[in-house]
Amino acid sequence: MISQPFEYYAPESVSEALRLLAAHENSRVLAGGQSLIPMMKLRLSAPASLIDLGHIAELNYIVETNGSIRIGAMSTHNQIETSETLRQKCPLLAEAAGRIGDVQVRNLGTIGGSLSHADPAADYPAALQALRAQVRLVSANGERTLPIDEFLVDAFSTALEPKEILYEVLAPVDPPGAGWAYLKQQQPASGFAVTGVAAQLGVKGGSISFARVGITGVASRPYAATAVEAALQGKPATPAVLAEAARLAAQGVEPLADVYAAPEYRAHLAQVWTRRALDTALSRVK
């Protein structure tokens, strides 16, 4: 199908993009276009105006500042996957980026576009939940910073206001010696996660000093598996302890049902992939 007619704008600065966004009703921001363009072609979305962020250089960067890594919203999945800064200081996010879609998608898709679309089976949110990351949002009236858990409201729903733009993602630098993993069971055609689990572990004196687990694809929104984290904190770093904690991966959530998995099967997958992610993270602890 062909999309409905629309006006197209290509601003070269964030301030110009915000002015255009404020001036045009029923406008949408275009990032990598991997989700919005197919929706427009299917007429599931019909904006009157498209504001393309692809020409705004100030939104494309990956830099470390004061113990945090700032990632511009227009950074592509490929840039995140191959970033030496992320591979050294926050490898969990680089690993998650490398598991998104295929090469063509990773070359065009952006972290800001993916998060703003808020697909409940997207890969980044699991890693960002485990990292306890934040996002910075800007508008003509100012800016605000939200934890990722508050930004992701529900399936295809975020805390973005109509005239706001996601400017950057802020991820903490890994603690020394931390182990990490992002693993998933993917849909065979799209590569989206039927279940995806991100884990980060620290070990001190043979005991788990901290544990962070983020899960995507299971519920209507990605979530931090706090029950798993609590069950691991301070416990011996053994396979048996990891296995027992992984049994809590779907506790307190209502698993989705679709053609790929029934709710009971998704809950089972959450346990299986949490166990595997924890085992891999433990094997990488230095």
Q: Same domain for 114 and 46? A: no
CATH number at residue 273: 3.30.390.50
Of 154, 172, 190, the domain-final residue? 172
Q: Same domain for 84 and 104? A: yes
Q: Same domain for 48 and 63? A: no
Given this model, what pLDDT does residue 241 score?
98
Of 36, 52, 68, the domain-final residue? 52
**Domain, as residue range, for 36:** 7-52
Q: Same domain for 37 and 62? A: no
Confidence of residue 231 (pLDDT cuts 50, 70, 90): very high
Output the CA–CA distances (angstroms, integers) from residue 78 to 75, 81, 100, in the order listed.
Answer: 8, 5, 9
With beta carbons less than 8 A apart as the criterion, state whether 277 and 180 touch: no
Q: Same domain for 145 and 183? A: no
Q: What is the pLDDT of residues 15-31, one digit of tens each?
A: 999 999 999 989 989 99
CATH number at residue 45: 3.30.43.10
Q: Does 2 fall in a domain?
A: no
Closest among 180, 57, 36 to 118, alpha carbons compared: 36
pTM value is 0.94
DSSP 126: H
- For the chain, how big is the Rg over CA atoms in Å? 19
Q: Same domain for 279 and 232? A: yes
Q: Does 1 fall in a domain?
A: no
List all residues 6 or more positions away from 72 whose beta carbon is below 8 Å from its beta carbon.
58, 59, 60, 61, 62, 112, 167, 168
Q: Same domain for 265 and 163? A: no
Of 126, 154, 172, the domain-final residue? 172
Q: Does 76 fall in a domain?
A: yes
Please return the burial class of 263, using the count of CB atoms within 10 Å of its CB with bins 0-12, 13-18 and 19+: middle
Confidence of residue 281 (pLDDT cuts 50, 70, 90): very high
Q: Same domain for 47 and 68? A: no
Between residues 126 and 46, which one has the greater pLDDT? Answer: 126
Q: What is the pLDDT of residues 157-171, one digit of tens each?
A: 999 998 999 999 999
Output the CA–CA distances (angstroms, integers) from residue 134 to 73, 128, 221, 267, in the order listed.
Answer: 12, 8, 16, 27
Where is 99: in which H helix or E strand?
A: none
In degrees and rounded to multiples of 5, residue 192 shows phi and psi of: -65, 160
Q: Same domain for 123 and 188? A: no
Q: Same domain for 138 and 190? A: no
With beta carbons less than 8 A apart as the criterion, state whether 182 and 198 touch: yes
CATH number at residue 152: 3.30.465.10
Structural domains in the chain (count): 3
Angle (deg, nearest 10), helices 239-246 and 263-283? 150
Q: Same domain for 105 and 88? A: yes
How many H-runs (helices) and E-runs (strands) does the chain carry? 12, 14
Q: Does 84 fall in a domain?
A: yes
List all residues 6 or more positions away from 230 whose beta carbon is below 8 Å from its beta carbon.
none
Percent of the chain with pLDDT over 70: 100
Q: Same domain for 164 and 245? A: no
Given this model, what pLDDT does residue 264 score?
97
